[in-house]
Amino acid sequence: MANRSGRKTQGNRKLILFIILVIVVFLIYNNADKLNLPNIGDAKVIKTEKKKEEEPAKAPDKKKSSRKTEPKTAPATTSFDFENNLDFALPAFTDQDQIVRHQAYSLSYADEFEQPYWVAYQLTASEVKGKSERENDFRPDPDVKTGSATPDDYRGSGYDRGHLAPAADFKFSNKAMSESFFMSNMSPQAPEFNREIWEHLESRVRSWVKKDQVLYVVTGPVLKGKMSYIGRRNKVAVPPMYFKVILDLYQPDVKAIAFLMKNEGSNEPLESFAVTIDEVEKETGLDFFPLLPDDMEQKLESSLTISDWFKGK
C-alpha cells in the first residue's frame, strides 16, 4: 500500500507542474505586447535602422550644387585672355555710368556735358582697309537714354563736330561707319585742331595698327576746369584738352602710349604731346585697362618709350 501511495503522490506532482507550466506559457503568450518583448519582425526593423545610420554621407551632386563659382583672376603674364573679353578696352565704370555699346565701339555718356567721357574699341589692321565710305549722317544717338546732343547744337558755334572714334577706323562695315556719326561720338573741337594735329594723330594710329595688327584705343575729352558751352537745345561743354590712349599687347613689342593735346591748332610734332597713361589718369580721373594683371598694368601705364612708336626718336 505504501508504494502505491508514493507513486500516486509523485504522479500528482508531475500533473500539477505540467498544469502550472501550461498556465505560465499561456500568460506569457497573451501578454507579450504589454511586456514589450521583441519578436522576429522587430529585430529586422532594428537591424535595418542601424545600418542606415552607419552609412557615410555622400558628397553633393555637382550638377545640383548652388554654390557660386568664383570669378577667374587674370594671371600676371601677357597670356591673359584679353581677346575674348568684350569689355577689355573699356576704362573702369560702375552701374551708375551710362554705357552705350555700338557695333565697333563703346562709350560712357556724360549727360552733364552732352558728350562722352570716353569712347573705346579694338582696332585691327583689316578694319582700316575696308571700302565703306563716310556719308556724314550726323544724328542723335537713339541708344543714349537721356538723349544725346544734336547737330543743331553745333550749328553756328564755330566748332567742328569732332569725332572721338574716327570714321576712317571703321571702313570695314557700312553700319559701323554710320554709327560713328552718332552725336554721342562727337565733341566740340576747334577747326584748326580737328582738321590738322588731331587728324594727324588719328592717321598715325591707323599706320601703327597696320604694322602691329591689333591695338586698343581709348579717346575722350578732358572735362574739367572753366569751360564754355555751345548749343541751342542742349548745353554742350567745350573741353580744353583731349586725350588718346593706345595699347599694344602683342608680343614681342608689348607697349603703351598716351597723348594729351590742347583744343587748339599746333605745329608741334606728335611725339611732343606723348605722355604716360598714368598722366592721363591723373588729368581725367579715369582708370584705363583695369582688367590687366596689376603688375603688367603698373609697368605699361607708368612708363613711356617714344622710340617704340616713333622710330628714330
Query: Which residue's entry shows cell 597696320?
Result: 210
User: In this structure, what C-alpha cell is assigned to residue 61?
Assistant: 551632386
User: In this structure, what C-alpha cell is assigned to residue 110?
Assistant: 556724360
In the chain, DSSP finds a helix count (H) and a strand count (E) of 7, 11
Residue 82's φ and ψ, nearest 5 degrees, are -75, -25
Query: What phi-psi label fits residue 129: left (phi over 0), alpha (psi between -120 and 50 degrees) or beta?
Result: alpha
The CA distance from 80 to 96, in Å, is 28
Task: Count Cβ atoms below 10 Å from residue 219 Cβ, excluding itself.
Answer: 27
Residue type, 100: V
CA angle 108, 109, 112 (to 5 degrees): 135
The CA distance from 162 to 261, in Å, is 14
Q: Reply yes or no: is the peptide bond before residue 221 cis, omega within 30 of 0.
A: no
Q: How far apart are the first and last CA of the chain?
A: 150
Task: Count Cβ atoms below 10 Å from residue 173 Cβ, excluding itself.
Answer: 14
Element (H or E) spanning 4, and its range? Answer: helix 2-30
Residue 194 annotated as lining a ligand binding site = yes
Largest CA distance in the chain: 159
| Residues annotated as catalytic (active site), given as ranges | 163
Q: 82: closest CA among 203, 216, 229, 283?
A: 216
User: In this structure, what C-alpha cell is assigned to residue 205?
Assistant: 594710329
User: In this structure, what C-alpha cell is assigned to residue 7?
Assistant: 507513486
Binding-site annotation: residue ranges: 194
Binding-site annotation: residue ranges for Mg(2+): 194
